[in-house]
Each structure stands twice: as structure tokens, then as C-alpha cells.
């Protein structure tokens, strides 16, 4: 039993910070994130017998954490988000305008000047349907297929939500950078 826990802990160690970051961005509260982590580690440990050595432990842990979070939310019986509305693409004229504005932005400056709290706030403001794939991809390094399995949605949905999530995030970060005067608002100039 102790050997199994040691083995589990050794595998978990390198991903602990990424997982806790994920839990924190899901719950937006440090105590809740700690609870979520504890519950996820407990569930993972119980299912560790079924984990196949050589497969992606990190993706497995992110998937368990996602399931734990989602099932916890389901228990809370919160109203579901309007997914269809979120998945509707912007009109073509608007998309073109966004593209032109993006092309004129100095993203290297925006990203390098981004303050950590602003990044967290921008991520926290994303609807859950966008936030989860973004975090699973960037923090968990999960493949599209793994994200699709973790969220029980088709791969095409993962791709479109990931695209929209990054687009929204970029614009939020640009907004913060403009507000602090480190980037120029292309509309005004």
C-alpha cells in the first residue's frame, strides 16, 4: 500500500503546481481549490489501480480534476450556461474588424507587459465553457481528443471554443494594457 502511494506521489509531484493552478482558476478561491485538489487526488488514488503505466498521467489527473469539479457543480445545481449562444460565431463584418484591429496590435508588448493578476482576472471572466478547454490545453497540455473526452464534447467544439477563448483572452489583455498605457488603442489612434 505504501509503495503504491509513493509511486502515485512521485508521478503527481511534477504536475502539482499546474494542477493546483487549474483548480484555482476553476474555483477562483484558494480554499475551494485545495478541497478540489484533495478530492481529485483521493479519487485518482482510488482509481490508480486502473491507471496504465506509460500513459499520460498528467492528462489523467486533469481529467479527474475536471470531472470532480463538474460533478461538484452539478450537485450545486447551478443553471447551465447558454452553450449554444457561446458557440455562435461573430458576424463576418465584425470578424473582419476584429482581425484588422488584431493585426495592428503589438501583441508581443501586450503579453510581455501583462501583469499576473490581470491574466488571472481575464481568465476568470471567461465563461466556463471557454475557460476549461483553454486551461486544459495550456496548463494541462492535453490534446484536443483528451480535452474532448474530459469535457464530453466533440473535438470540433473543443477547437472552436479554444479559438474563441484565446480571442477573448487576448482582447481582455489588450484592454488592460491600454488602460495602463503600455499599449495603444488602435481604435482611438
Partner 1 sequence: MKGCADVRDMIHPFVDGELEVTDNVTLLKHLELCPGCRARCEEERALKELVGSRLQERLSEVERRRVLAGAFGRERRAVWRNRLANAAAVLLVASGAGLGMLVAKDPCLFKPCPTELALKAAVEAARTQQPLSLAQVAEVFPREVCVPKACNLRNEGVFLVAAPGGAERPVVQYRCQKTGTRLAFIHVTSQHRLCFGEAREHTDGRRYVSRAVDGMRAVGWYGKDGELRACLAADDVPDDTLYVMASAVRDGDI
CB 24, min distance to partner 1, A: 5
**Contact yes or no for 176/118 (Cβ under 8 A):** yes
Which is nearer to partner 1, 5 or 82 (by Cβ)?
Answer: 5
Q: Given the rule CB under 8 A, which residues bind partner 1?
A: 1, 5, 9, 16-18, 20-22, 24-25, 33-34, 37-39, 41-42, 45-46, 103, 107-108, 111, 114, 116, 119-120, 123, 134-135, 137-139, 141, 143-144, 159, 162-163, 166, 169-170
CB 162, min distance to partner 1, A: 6
CB 38, min distance to partner 1, A: 4
d(CA 13, CA 20): 11
CB 151, min distance to partner 1, A: 15
What 3-state DSSP class applies to 108? helix
CB 111, min distance to partner 1, A: 5
Which is nearer to partner 1, 46 or 180 (by Cβ)?
Answer: 46
d(CA 64, CA 43): 7
Count CB-CB contacts under 10 A for residue 179: 11
Which is nearer to partner 1, 117 or 188 (by Cβ)?
Answer: 117
Angle at CA of residue 22, ends 21 and 27, nearest 5°: 100
**Contact yes or no for 134/123 (Cβ under 8 A):** yes
Which is nearer to partner 1, 80 or 156 (by Cβ)?
Answer: 156
Q: Which helix (H) or strand (E) holds 2?
A: helix 2-12
Which is nearer to partner 1, 56 or 138 (by Cβ)?
Answer: 138
Burial 11-45 (b: 16+ CB within 10 A, else e): bbeebeebbbbbbbbbbeeeeebeebbebbbebbb
Amino acid at each position: 500500500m505504501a509503495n503504491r502511494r509513493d509511486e502515485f506521489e512521485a508521478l503527481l509531484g511534477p504536475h502539482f503546481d499546474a494542477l493546483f493552478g487549474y483548480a484555482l482558476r476553476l474555483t477562483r478561491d484558494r480554499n475551494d481549490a485545495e478541497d478540489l485538489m484533495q478530492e481529485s487526488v483521493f479519487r485518482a488514488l482510488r482509481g490508480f489501480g486502473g491507471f496504465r503505466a506509460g500513459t499520460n498521467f498528467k492528462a489523467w489527473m486533469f481529467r479527474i480534476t475536471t470531472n470532480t469539479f463538474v460533478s461538484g457543480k452539478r450537485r450545486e445545481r447551478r443553471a447551465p450556461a447558454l452553450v449554444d449562444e457561446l458557440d455562435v460565431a461573430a458576424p463576418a463584418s465584425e470578424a473582419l474588424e476584429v482581425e484588422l484591429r488584431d493585426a495592428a496590435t503589438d501583441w508581443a508588448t501586450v503579453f510581455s507587459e501583462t501583469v499576473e493578476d490581470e491574466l488571472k482576472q481575464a481568465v476568470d471572466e471567461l465563461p466556463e465553457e471557454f475557460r476549461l478547454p483553454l486551461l486544459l490545453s495550456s496548463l494541462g497540455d492535453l490534446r484536443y481528443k483528451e480535452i474532448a473526452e474530459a469535457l464530453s464534447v466533440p473535438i470540433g467544439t473543443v477547437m472552436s471554443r479554444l479559438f474563441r477563448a484565446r480571442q477573448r483572452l487576448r482582447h481582455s489583455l489588450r484592454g488592460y494594457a491600454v488602460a495602463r498605457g503600455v499599449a495603444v488603442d488602435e481604435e482611438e489612434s
